[in-house]
Structure 1
Amino acid sequence: MEIRIAENCGFCYGVKRAVAMAQKTAENDFTSYTLGPIIHNPQVVQSLADDGVRAVNSLEEIPDGQVIIRSHGVGPAIYKEAEDKGLDVVDATCPHVKKAQQDAKSVVDDNMTLVILGEKKHPEVISINLWAGNKGIIVESEKDAEIIPFVENMGVVVQTTFSQFKFQSIIGILEKKTKNLKVFKTICTATQERQNSAVELAKEVNLMIVIGGKNSGNTNRLAEVCRDVGCTTYHIET
């Protein structure tokens, strides 16, 4: 049996950066916390916990010390709340997510209807919408796009790990829903590279194994695009 590895794989820049920042805080004398899991990979989260960097669900759980904003980002209110509590903030938000947050805010500031392509319950999508005052219409599928009413002006921002193939299909629908469509293609380059590599490999092999967190939107998307080309695919975590 021959085992082949995709040309592009592994953690992207934003995740590597966030994990490195979290690991750096473990060297401090005071306790460090991540607001939610630093990334959607239980094994990495556990490794950090073993080093003294603990994941919590809210700022209320942090008595003092340092809080790390995870790669998925948070809304502006969290920064204010952390400041009011006197917490030292380490912002590990992925730069690509930061751009999506600011693009979403600019769409609303320009009085355009905001559409966010992504998973409704994903923390990154939630954070993007919070920067836009929760005014975005979140679209996960072509079916969601079809029911959006016609508007004069529309701006589109995309979850950084969204399927580029689904993106193209949904944009085709949204073009018919407005006179003026402004698209911010905020799918990050690393995501596109990994999806392209996965698809190319899936077309040439009998079986694909995608390794990563079961709670990772990025990893789930890789498995999804492999299945879409008709290759039997298993998503495993350990």
Structure 2
Amino acid sequence: MQVKAITPRGYCKGVVRAIEIAKNAQNEQQPIYILGMIVHNQYIVDALKERGIQTIDIPGQTRLELLDQIQHGTVIVTAHGASDQVFQKAKNKGLNVIDASCLDVIKTHDLIKEKLNEGYDILYIGKKGHPEAEGAISIDEKRVHLITSKNDIQMMDPNKHYVMTNQTTMSLYDVYDLCEYAKTILPHVTIEKETCTATKIRQEAIKNMEEDIDIVFIVGDPHSNNTQKLASIASEKKEVHMIESLDDLNINWLKGKKKAAVSSGASTPTYLTNQVIEFLHQFNENDPQTFFKQPIDLTKILD
């Protein structure tokens, strides 16, 4: 089968940094916990658990609430960032705190704090319940407003002065659309788009893929917002399947297909994406011997 491995794909610099920080934490005060998923990929969470690093992640609980589960040792703040309240609470509990926040997320937090001090309210385009959005909104829950749709913008006071920014992993096309809409109904809004470069170029690569591709596979965890956005953009023109790994690939999807494209979210291990690419390369729908899938080796996830 013909395969187009779309580039760039996979790990961004923030994910690489967060994983390295977690791997290097083994000599820190024991036990070691991660406050939520270090990045949104269950295979990475499982691989870190094999190294004795436990993830504390309870659906519906904020980072501040998750801290109640940790009484001593080291706590790692994930790549998604956290509010100052989280860091202060961890320090008050006597925990050793390691910050693995993505530098682009920190940049957005700094922007929000700066503009709040200048008297602006913040319109923050993000996904409700996402840890990155949670951290940004909690900077000032009264003056940082979560924007998920045009309806949210319509609820804003047109007499106020706003700065509009966004979660770094949002679709750059969705962000552009919401920003342009805000400018039509809010006379005092300033736009400070914060889509990270890695997210932007991955989305543009998907948008501009070759016309002769029959099927697209986006490899990544369903919790990953940037992975979901890649799949959404690709689905505008192509048949798309979002899979966590080769295990999820259904052979029936490939019947009658000549050329497949593969990309992956910014938190997807290269090993998992390469497994998919290698399988597709050797696949021949007329040869059942090519249907065999290699098992996943958890020891290679963090390589």
Q: Give me the TM-score of the superposition, normalised by structure 2.
A: 0.74
**Taking structure 1 as reference, are residues 55 and 147 closer, same or farther at Cα in structure 2, changes over 3 Å only?**
same
Q: Could you tell me whether the CA contact under 8 Å between 1:101 and 1:129 is conserved in 2?
A: no
Q: How does 1:94-133 map to 2 (within 5 A)?
A: 94-133=102-141
- Show CA shifts across 1:100-150 (max 9, x none): 112122222222221001101111011011123452221123343344342
Deviations 1:26-71 (A, max 9, x none): 2446221100110110000010011011011412222211110000
Match of 1:231 in 2: 238
> What is the 5 A alignment of 1:29-178?
30-57=30-57, 58-178=66-186
Report the Cα distance in structure 2 between the residues aligned to 1:29 and 1:184, rounded to whole angstroms: 39
In 2, distance between residues paired with 1:78 and 1:29? 19
User: Secondary structure of the residue that 1:213 maps to in structure 2?
Assistant: coil
CA spacing shift, 1:116–1:30, aligned 2, 3 Å: same
Whether 2:222 is the aligned partner of 1:217: answer: no
Q: In 2, Cα distance between the equivalents of 1:203 and 1:103?
A: 40
How far off is 1:202 after superposition? 6.2
Residue 209 of structure 2: aligned partner: 201
Larger radius of gyration: 2
Q: State the 1:184 CA deviation.
A: 1.5
Deviation at 1:78, TM superposition (A): 1.0
Whose RCO is larger (CA < 8 A, sep 6+)?
Answer: 2
Cα separation, partners in 2 of 1:67 and 1:202, compared to 1, 3 Å: farther
The farther-off stretch of 55-64 and 212-221 is: 55-64
Structure 2 contact 29–96 (Cα < 8 Å) conserved: no
SS at match of 1:121: coil
Whichever residue aligns with residue 234 of structure 2, its letter is C
Name the amino acid aligned to 2:197: T
Stretch moving more, 136-145 or 108-117: 136-145
Task: Identify unmatched segments of 5+ residues in structure 1.
Answer: none
2:30 alignment partner AA:
F
Q: Is the 8 A contact 1:34 1:56 kept in 2?
A: yes
Which 5+ residue runs of structure 2 have no aligned equivalent?
58-65, 246-303
Q: Percent identity?
A: 26
Q: CA RMSD in A?
A: 1.6
TM-score, normalised with respect to structure 1: 0.94
